[in-house]
Copies of this chain bind each other. A is one copy, B any other.
Amino acid sequence: MRLAVIPGDGIGPEVIAEALKVLGEVVPAAEITRYDLGAARWHATGELLPESVLGELRQHDAILLGAVGDPSVPSGILERGLLLRLRFELDHHVNLRPARLYPGVRSPLADPPEIDMVVVREGTEGPYAGNGGLLRKDTPHEIATEVSLNTSFGVERVVRDAFARASNRQRRHLTLVHKTNVLTHAGSLWSRVVEEVSLQHPDVTVAYQHVDAATIHMVTDPGRYDVIVTDNLFGDILTDLAAAVTGGIGLAASGNLDVTRRNPSMFEPVHGSAPDIAGQGIADPTAAVLSVALLLDHLGEHEASRRIEASVAFDLATRDHQSPGATYAIGDRLAALVSSNVRTG
Q: Which residues of A contact B (CB under 8 A)?
A: 75-76, 79-80, 84, 106-111, 127-128, 130, 132-134, 136, 138-153, 179-189, 192, 211-213, 215-216, 218-220, 233, 236-241, 243-245, 248-249
Q: In the complex, which residues of chain B have a beta carbon less than 8 angstroms from the beta carbon of A146?
A: 127, 147-148, 150, 183, 185-186
A236 vs chain B, min Cβ distance (A): 5
A154 vs chain B, min Cβ distance (A): 9
Task: Give the distance in Å from the alpha carbon of A141 to the alpha carbon of B121 in the complex.
Answer: 21
Q: In the complex, which residues of chain B have a beta carbon less than 8 angstroms from the beta carbon of A142?
A: 151-152, 189
Q: In the complex, which residues of chain B have a beta carbon less than 8 angstroms from the beta carbon of A150?
A: 143-146
| Partner of A215 from B111, B139, B181, B237 at Cβ < 8 Å | B237
Q: In the complex, which residues of chain B have a beta carbon less than 8 angstroms from the beta carbon of A107?
A: 110
Chain B residue with minimal CB distance to A191? B75
What 5 additional pairs, Cβ within 8 angstroms, besides A134-B189, A144-B186, A219-B241? A127-B148, A130-B184, A132-B183, A141-B151, A179-B236
Q: In the complex, which residues of chain B have a beta carbon less than 8 angstroms from the beta carbon of A238?
A: 215
Known: A146-B148, A189-B142, A212-B240. A182 touches B220 (CB 8 A): no
| Partner of A181 from B79, B133, B140 at Cβ < 8 Å | B79
| Partner of A212 from B139, B141, B237, B248 at Cβ < 8 Å | B237
